[in-house]
Amino acid sequence: MEGLEPSRPGQTKALTEASKRWMQKAIAAWHEDDWEAVCLMAPQSIELLSKAVLWEVNPALLAPMGAQDGEASLLKLVRGDPLSSSGMKTIGLGAALKRLATLDDSFPIPKARYARIADVRNGLVHIAQGATEPRAILVDCLRVADYLIPKLSTDRSDFYGSGFNTAEALLIQHQESVEATVKLKRAKSSKELADLRSNLDSSEFEEVVAMRESEKFSVAQDHFTSADATSVDQDCPECGFTGRLIGTPQVEGAVDWDVEKLGDGSWIPVPMGYWEIYFDPSAFACPVCRLKLLGRDELAAAHLPSSTLEVDRPDLDDPDFSLDELIEAESHYDVHGV
């Protein structure tokens, strides 16, 4: 239909170019030890880059839900009006990151960290003195940028410009730090198990292992970060015994189709609704060797599931968790829109 084709290339380029400028300024501020500027400029870059990707997927993804004049903005976005048009309102950084994470399970950082990026930029979180927190904010922004850049067919070296080597070094240091942390944790757990074996005969060792594995639910609960968290069985990467992968479950309604034969011999399709169950991992705890891994980065370094995976109902066997309650809550949301 005439007037409904968005002018995507021009808008995408404008957002990407603006994002590039802010990121290069953020890296320059890093070299100048200007921590406040880092925590303002890097998130600003990510907001613009996130909006560029959402615009490419579908401009309507930039519409603010429930906001005053939100519907008017939605219609403008669907029509392809530029973001600078009069009366246009779009989502902020936090909502943009949330929508990207919802659209793609491989989003590189968990909810708590991308929410922190937005909170720091919006002044809701105090920036501690020194480089530790700004480094974490900048590294998270760089990781999100590296995730978004390929979706825009943008050259990575051009995006970072003179800050390319700095961005690369910070990302490499982060990865090496995570891997070193996991190696140390695994070494400690290995020693824990070796000491246990050396002090017990085989039957005693098996008894202790069985006793510890029976405590897996309580061990996992020590690492729950929200009221919705639960855990599923996961072989420990260090000792091989059963530990628990900790995370947040989600359900999505789906429909399959069967056929039913009528009295006249004809067949009709019959919809069959069911729930798909997903699990977003955030930590791991082994009750036997005491290995504890926190965050997606450490899970990935230990070669454990680190992105959303599909699970079956029996997998969610935590006695304190009710899948039926989660489904009921989701059903209420779907039906009533609350």
pLDDT band at 69, cuts 50/70/90?
A: low
**Span 166-185, pLDDT tens digits:** 999 999 999 999 999 999 99
Contact in structure between 289 and 239 (CB atoms under 8 Å): yes
pLDDT band at 337, cuts 50/70/90?
A: very low
Identity of residue 131: A
**Span 84-121, pLDDT tens digits:** 888 888 999 999 999 998 888 788 888 888 888 998 88
Alpha-carbon span 91 to 63, nearest angstrom: 6
pLDDT at residue 126, rounded to an integer: 61
Phi, psi for residue 240 in degrees, rounded to 5: 85, -5
Identity of residue 117: I
**Span 181-239, pLDDT tens digits:** 999 999 999 999 999 999 999 999 999 999 999 999 999 999 887 788 899 999 999 99
